[in-house]
A and B are shown apart, each in its own frame.
Chain A
Amino acid sequence: MANQATTADNEEIVRDVGKWEWSELFKKEDWLAIWLGFIILIVGVLIFLPRPPADLDAKLAKASATLKAEDARAPFHTIEWHQANDAKTGVRASKEPHGKTLAKWLSRPAKWTANPMQALYLSESKAAEIRENAAAAFAQAKERTGAALANAETAQTAAAASGFQNTELNKVAEAAIKEWRDTRKNESSAKSKAETKAYNKIPYLIGIMIIFMLFFTPGAKLMGKDTALFMKGFIFVFLLAIAAEVIGGQTTLRSYGFGPLIWAILGGMLIANTLGTPRFIQEGAQTEYFIKTGLVLLGAEILFGKILAIGQAGIFVAWAVTPTVLVLTYIFGQRVLKMESKTLNITVSSDMCVCGVSAAIATAAACRATKEELTIALGMSMLFTAVMMIALPSLIVALGMHPVLGGAWIGGTIDSTGAVVAAGAFLGEVGMFVAATIKMIQNVMIGVIAFAVAVYWCAKVDCTPGQQVSKMEIWYRFPKFVLGFILASVIFSLMFESMGARGTALLDHGVLRGFTRICREWFFIFAFASIGLTSNFREMAKHFKGGKPVILYVCGQSLNLLLTLLAAYIMFFVVFPGVTESLMN
């Protein structure tokens, strides 16, 4: 089933060769990842779909009717429109008792500012102190919201009295409504502090560690691992993941986008390259097993219907520019920079132009890049993302760029979703909405990219020059977990579309965001801790020879910035100016 082959540089590679055995279905991690991923998806569906929020359909229908009526009534979003929109957005299966219970059990360490213990434990006395300190601010914020709402109602009534025909009155009403929304947002933030509750996450974390250990152990046994060593090693991996979560939850680091994943890798590498990683930990540090299971779950979050969110303009910006930049950057890496490792080239190209961390993970797994290559790609992505998150919105504001253009530019070029939202927020609400939506559409593309890379690698790259690869050979070599990844995406996309408005409440904000996404985040952090624990600094340094990965990233990102800006301008201001107008209204 697996055999050793030799490449030109005599590097040992474990590669699938042309032979199929049915036992692969329960002995290879690719298949085990599919089974485990689908078990979680099925459990999620069984928990959330039969238990919708009370009066779900009636609430959605009422909100939709109000939105439609208000759209017809006024040329701007009225108070009633916002209230109906809030009601529609607020209907979520994850807010039901079963969703809250799952969230409690699966929750990761909390964010903190000065005391890292607060990531795991908050005493009642400390919670009471926070509540007391926040009470006055909350009361004030509440009062401001009430006053702003009254002001908005007065302004809207005046505008309505003129049949919404008076431009000046409309503008005043719109500004008053915006102010009410802003004060409401501040009130919500003050409220969460004023309602701080004591917590102790440690028992839940121990519980979830045992559950995940039992979940992964049978597969590890089937793969021929020493079960006792795997379990001991898993405990260590879990503890490292928790340490990374605690570090990544620190407010400043979180604001820069240096989240837990990078700390899991760095922490693991620090241990591996100073004290050394004992064998029992290496047995538990099953990177591929965790990452592929996580990727199958990620597949379910790739809902193809989402690409229509911002119409053809968004599809063009995200789906035409991105693959163009990906292919050109890869060719540049091979022909101009002459990068020795094709897998590093495609992983860096993909994380730079698609969506950072998630693209790097999916592409690296699809082309079988090394752990060090994935780490390099992630490290560069996080550093450049932090820089771009600050530089790009500053430039956009300094240039006085239109928020829709600026938002589309940010969404199409900054790697990770969180950084896109952060940078977009600096442009105002519309800019942030456009940026986040473009990034979401780009996220969806990773399914297609991972599949294409897997096929291309099997058919063209992983073979000797001039070798003709048969279809069956491609099948033998194909990383099978990609099938689970794609299948999960197709099934959940079809379910999401067939469910209409219920899909958002039950699938997106139930099964996915309320359960499988949280499991997937855990699996990825286990994978990244494992990567760190089994990585070697020297190996990584080899890839940096001549600074080629950095040059590749900088050149590719420069091209990405130029093409995305051009495409966004053409789409939102030349071909579909109506879309821009609607977004601004």
Chain B
Amino acid sequence: MQKMETETGEKDRKQGGLSGWLRLAAGLALIWTMAYVILPWGSRLPVIAPIMQAIEDSDIDAGAYWYTQSEETAIAQMYVRHAIDSRKD
């Protein structure tokens, strides 16, 4: 990532003004639409609904990006390790 330290920050200063604020408002509106309209609508689609339900029922954080952020992983590895250790064959 170092090379961008020299590249960024110079040419993006000409932003701002009314058009800048309008574009910012449009971007925020887009995020709002996605969070409150598109994704909730998607959650109700027959293909997606059962999985979303399973996620909500188990209160899973689908955005966790590392195993230590997931409580389920801690339980899973304990279960799996025990199952492997207690193998009789």
- A residues near B (Cβ < 8 Å) are 11-15, 67-68, 71, 85, 88-89, 185, 189, 247-248, 250-261, 263, 266, 270-277, 279, 282, 287-288, 291, 298, 301, 306, 308-311, 355-358, 364-365, 368-372, 374, 389-390, 393-394, 416-419, 421-423, 425-426, 432-437, 439-440, 443, 504, 508-509, 512-513, 517, 521, 534-536, 539, 578-579, 582-583, 585
A298 pairs with B51, CB closer than 8 A: no
Please give, as numbers and ranges, the residues of chain A lying within 8 Å of B68 by CB-CB distance. Answer: 301, 508, 512-513, 517
A85 pairs with B82, CB closer than 8 A: yes
A579 pairs with B87, CB closer than 8 A: yes
- CB contact under 8 A between A368 and B67, given known A254-B61, A256-B62, A275-B16: no
Of residues 43 to 59 in B, which have CB atoms within 8 Å of A's CB atoms? 43, 47-48, 50-52, 54-59
Of the residues A12, A14, A252, A358, contact of B66 by C-beta under 8 Å? A358
The CA-CA distance from A288 to B4 in the complex, in Å, is: 11
A368 pairs with B78, CB closer than 8 A: no
User: Knowing that A301-B66, A358-B66, A370-B1 are A-B contacts, what are 14 other residue pairs whose CB atoms are under 8 Å apart, sorted by A's residue number?
Assistant: A14-B3, A71-B86, A89-B74, A253-B35, A255-B55, A259-B63, A261-B65, A273-B15, A273-B23, A276-B12, A426-B51, A440-B76, A534-B8, A583-B80
- CB contact under 8 A between A275 and B24, given known A247-B31, A369-B1, A394-B47: yes
A394 pairs with B51, CB closer than 8 A: yes
Of the residues B14, B15, B21, B58, contact of A425 by C-beta under 8 Å? B58
Of the residues B12, B21, B61, B76, contact of A436 by C-beta under 8 Å? B76
The CA-CA distance from A275 to B39 in the complex, in Å, is: 28
A89 pairs with B14, CB closer than 8 A: no
The CA-CA distance from A578 to B5 in the complex, in Å, is: 53
B82 pairs with A270, CB closer than 8 A: no
6 contacts between A and B (CB under 8 A): A276-B12, A298-B66, A356-B65, A422-B51, A425-B60, A539-B8
The CA-CA distance from A272 to B50 in the complex, in Å, is: 39
Please give, as numbers and ranges, the residues of chain A lying within 8 Å of B48 by CB-CB distance. Answer: 390
Please give, as numbers and ranges, the residues of chain B lying within 8 Å of A85 by CB-CB distance. Answer: 78-79, 82
Determine the interface band of chain B, counting residues with CB < 8 A from chain A: 35 or more
B1 pairs with A287, CB closer than 8 A: yes
A578 pairs with B51, CB closer than 8 A: no
CB-CB contacts of B1-44 with A at 8 A, as 1s and 0s? 11111111101111110001101100110010001000110010
- CB contact under 8 A between A426 and B67, given known A275-B16, A310-B80: no
A252 pairs with B65, CB closer than 8 A: no
The CA-CA distance from A247 to B36 in the complex, in Å, is: 11
A434 pairs with B80, CB closer than 8 A: yes
Of the residues B23, B35, B56, B65, contact of A417 by C-beta under 8 Å? B65
- Does more than half of chain A's interface fall in helix, strand or loop, or is it mixed? helix
Please give, as numbers and ranges, the residues of chain B lying within 8 Å of A425 by CB-CB distance. Answer: 54-55, 58, 60, 72
The CA-CA distance from A63 to B73 in the complex, in Å, is: 20
Please give, as numbers and ranges, the residues of chain A lying within 8 Å of B20 by CB-CB distance. Answer: 274-276
B76 pairs with A418, CB closer than 8 A: no
A385 to chain B, nearest CB (A): 8
User: Which of B9, B48, B69, B80 is packed against the most chain A CB atoms within 10 Å?
Assistant: B80
The CA-CA distance from A83 to B6 in the complex, in Å, is: 58
A248 pairs with B63, CB closer than 8 A: yes
Please give, as numbers and ranges, the residues of chain B lying within 8 Å of A276 by CB-CB distance. Answer: 12-16, 20
The CA-CA distance from A390 to B52 in the complex, in Å, is: 8
B65 pairs with A418, CB closer than 8 A: yes
B89 pairs with A578, CB closer than 8 A: yes
B24 to chain A, nearest CB (A): 4
The CA-CA distance from A395 to B40 in the complex, in Å, is: 22
B1 to chain A, nearest CB (A): 6
Please give, as numbers and ranges, the residues of chain A lying within 8 Å of B84 by CB-CB distance. Answer: 309-311, 579, 582-583
Please give, as numbers and ranges, the residues of chain A lying within 8 Å of B6 by CB-CB distance. Answer: 12-14
Please give, as numbers and ranges, the residues of chain B lying within 8 Å of A273 by CB-CB distance. Answer: 12, 15, 23
B35 pairs with A250, CB closer than 8 A: yes
Please give, as numbers and ranges, the residues of chain A lying within 8 Å of B52 by CB-CB distance. Answer: 255
B25 to chain A, nearest CB (A): 9
Of the residues A277, A369, A422, contact of B54 by C-beta under 8 Å? A422
Closest to A443 in B: B67
A67 pairs with B82, CB closer than 8 A: yes
A417 pairs with B83, CB closer than 8 A: no
A437 pairs with B60, CB closer than 8 A: no
B81 pairs with A309, CB closer than 8 A: yes
Closest to B19 in A: A274
Of the residues A274, A298, A421, A508, contact of B64 by C-beta under 8 Å? A421
Please give, as numbers and ranges, the residues of chain B lying within 8 Å of A248 by CB-CB distance. Answer: 63
User: Which of B24, B31, B50, B62 is packed against the most chain A CB atoms within 10 Å?
Assistant: B62
